[in-house]
Every structure is written in C-alpha cells, then in structure tokens.
Structure 1
Amino acid sequence: MLNVSIIIPAWNEEERIADCLMNATRQTVAPHEVIVVNNRSTDRTCDIVERFQRDHPEAPVILLQQNEDQGLIPTRNFGLNAATGDVLGRIDADCMLKPDWVEVVSGIFTEDPDAMGATGPVVYYDMPAKGAGLAGDDHIRRHTYRADNDQVLLFGSNMAIRASAWHAISGEVCRDPEDVMHEDIDVSLHLLNHGFKTVYSQCMICGISARRMDTSFASFHRYMQRFKNTFAAHPDHWREHHTERRLYALYPWLHMLYPIYQQHLAAKDINPAEKIWFDEQIKLVKSHFDNPEQVDAVE
C-alpha cells in the first residue's frame, strides 16, 4: 500500500484545527505525515498545533511556517512541495476526515496505477440531515463536477494527488494573485493538460463546514464567479455542466437554515466537528482492543 501525506494550509483556524488533527491522525491506516502549514496566523493556531504535538507525540504531525506570501495557493504549494509521501492529500483546516480516509485514498492509488488525482463527496457536519446532504453532494459531484468530456475535477477540501503528478505540474499551476479562481479546479485542469487520470470515489468522504452559506449573497456570488474565471484562464478546457447553478438554488435555503442550526448546536453545547465521526471512532477503538496488534493505527 502507498503511504499518504496530509497537507493542511492554515490561517487563523484556532476554532477547528485541533479537531481536524484528531480526525486526521485517528485513522484505520496511519498517515505517513500530517503537515500543517501556517500562513501568518494572528490567533492561537500555532499554539494549538504545538500543544497537539506535545499531547500526542506518537502522531506524525509537522508544523511548518509559510510567511513569505499571504494566501492559500503559496501556502498549499509550500506544503505539497515539503511532503514526502507517495500520495499527497490536501484538505482544509476545518475539515474532518472520515476514519478510513487514508486507507481509502491509499487503496485508490495502489489499485489504479494510472490514477493521478482523486476526490470524493463531502458531508456538512454543522448542518442537519447529514445523510441526505451527503447523498446530494455525491450526486452533484458525480454528475456536474466534470470537465473535458466527463473528466473528474478535484475538490480542494477533499482531494489527493500522486506525488509524481504534483511535481510534474507544481511549476505550472496558476498563482492567481488577484484571488479570483478556484485553485482546486486549476490544479485539476493542469493535471488534465498532462493527460493525467483523475478519479472519483464515493468512499473518499470528508466532513466540512457549511459556513460558506453564512456569507452575504454578494460574497457568495463572487465565490461562484470563480468557476467562470478559472475556465476563462484555461480556454483549452470546457465544461458541459455548471455546478454553480445547483449551488445558487441551494443558497437561500441553506443561508436561512445555517444560523438557526448553529443556535441549536450552541444551546445543546454540541461541537459538531467533534461529533461527526464519534460513533465510528468509538467502534474503531473497540476493534483495536479486540485486535491489539493494530493499535498503532489509532494511537
């Protein structure tokens, strides 16, 4: 099985980074390394990561500093270039990986030597009806998140790239100084430029926050415009379906529901990021009591 590095760009993520690291390290198959790349945070992000390292010395968590440039793309690139795994996973600092994520990702690239990029569906851990939400997200990504005659586009909150493929495109990916593009789609299109295969797996599941839906419509609209801007920067590529049309239709309902559900979570004193995979984590721990030789995978 190929080993998997996890890269987490972070800027002022003190609220969720500890939960993110806990989910990234408590896996059925241990990650090769979990690299947090701090980008000029002014909050307690670094302190929390360092405390996690002290409290969990067995976890392969690495903290790097990228202070030369402000922004996701240079921070992402810094982490991907520093990683030493066979496969490079990329998530956000508020993402909560399903406990078998590393195992699934390793399996995808081990079983398919032609696969150079992989992605999967997401579940919104801070929204109700998570099962229905996951099914809906899976449907949208399988049927609309495509380019160039049904080639899979990677989603930045839940994606992995074979290390050799990243090194082939790392000098070509757009720097986007105006910050108007979807950096994950840009990476996808550069992979397709090389004829690299990208794949979608329904089993590669990540929990993410729906906080994007809590922004104003003007802000949401600017974010949706990134789809158009990214393809405009890559005129050799095309798409039949416009994912943003589905998201525009969902926005009013999710924008209304999100703050209401946050009030419910606060009233019940529920940390949704901690709770999303709790039952599966408990089952995982119990299984390792029954199989002590596997305990290193979750320590």
Structure 2
Amino acid sequence: MTRTRTLGVTAVAGAGALLALGVAPASAADTATVSVLHAVPDTPVDVYADGERLIDDFRPGTLTDPLQLPAGSYDVALFPADAADGSGTPLVSANGVSVPAGANATVVAHLTEAGQPVLTPFVNDTSAVPAGQGRVVVRHTAAAPAVDVRAGGQVVAPGLANPNEAALTVPAGTVSADVVLAGTDTVALGPADLTVTEGATTVVYAWGSQDAGYELAVQTIGGPGSAPSGVPGGTAGLVDGAADDAGLPLPLLGLSALGLLGAGVAARRLATTRA
C-alpha cells in the first residue's frame, strides 16, 4: 500500500450548507463548475462517491480540469490510496452534500499553518475585467505563517494568512512576483514570472511545508487559458510566527467534499518542482 498520512479533515455535510451561496443566476444550467487541487504533501488518496471509486491514487500536486457536475446531493468519502474497495473507516466522509447550480469553485486539499490537512473551498470570481486587464488571485494554502506577496518588488498583498486570499486587477502581461515573510525581505517562494492573461483570472497557490518544500501552483480561469506551472521554493523559517484564524465564509464548505467528486475526470499533474 502506498504510504499515507491520516487526514485530519473536518467535512461539512448537509443539504442546507450551501443555500446562502446565491451564485446561480436564473438562467444557469443545473450544474456546478468545480476544480480540485491536491496540495497535501506525501498524501495520496482514493475518492469515493455514493460507494463507487472515482479517483484511484489521487496524488499531491494534481489539479483537475474544471468539471461540470449535476446539481444534486452526494455521499462522498476519502480513503487511504489503494484501500481495498473503500473498506474500513474513511479518512473523511460527508453524506448528503448539496451541489448548487451555477457555482464555480476550486477545492484545495492542503495543510493549515500548523501542518494539519484540511479541505478549503474557494469561490472563483468569474466577473468581467476591463479590456487589457487580468485578475490575479493569490491563495495562501501552505503550512506557513502570514506572508507578503510582491509584484515587481512592491508589496501588493500584505499579511496574507492561511487560508485567505487576495485579489487585484492588473494589466495583462508578465509580472515578476515573489513571496516573503510578512514585514520582511526574506524570500520564501520565487521570484517567478507570472503570465497574466487578458480577461482571465490567474490564481496562484502557495502550498507545501517546510519538510516537504514549498511550491507555487498556477490556475487560469476563463480567457484563452494557459498551462499550469510551478516554481521552486525554500523553507525560509516559515514554520515560525503566529496563527491567523481568519478563514473563508462558511456557505461554500459543502463543496469541500464534493469538489473531490469531480476529480476523477481528466486530472492532470502540475508541472511543479520540489525545493
């Protein structure tokens, strides 16, 4: 059996968990768009939905293509990779998970600042941006304290803590970006040249841990699109610092388990380089 760690994940189930989301316009089809990034180092899993295995050996560093999932209710469970027919106690499960039509989200399996695996859903902003511009979203999903994100040497997202995000609209083109410890010039990730696509949302995820190494993963949503990519990182003392308990709004938490449901179709390995 592939070596794995127990996922200390809290999953939120219940059909009413997503009623407050309010993202589905009246004309939306009865589907939701969900992508999944597996960003827990060294923890492959198998994913089951309604008792059927949908993903075999879902590996860290893997990002799924966007999936159009039928709106409805699902029972989802995650087991250690190569578990026999989903037998035994699941690492995490959620029954009656509600899928609202019209939602667009990326679910990230990652580590908290303290190094505990969790599932965090992020709502993807797909609204229009001005001509010649692109939206950049930075998401802190690494086992690390707060960081500052810099573009062209200037801080554009100060004090970003796990699992928060920061968004800004910038001219389309290439931006040199790096991640430093909050309030310092100590580089933790990068620098890297980030391609900002006109009319698209470019999402950058900082993930990993001091032991496994830190990495950047890039996801492009909308626009012509571009290939996912990664850059090497370092340790930079990122296990130090105080925790920030601020998190995401609760209404989308039901998608945490559901997002893994769609990962069985067209999953692809991110081109990442370990530190």
State if a TM-score over 0.5 links the two structures: no
Pick the TM interval, shorter chain: 0.3 to 0.5
Greater helix content = 1
Greater strand content = 2
TM-score, with normalisation over the residues of structure 2? 0.33
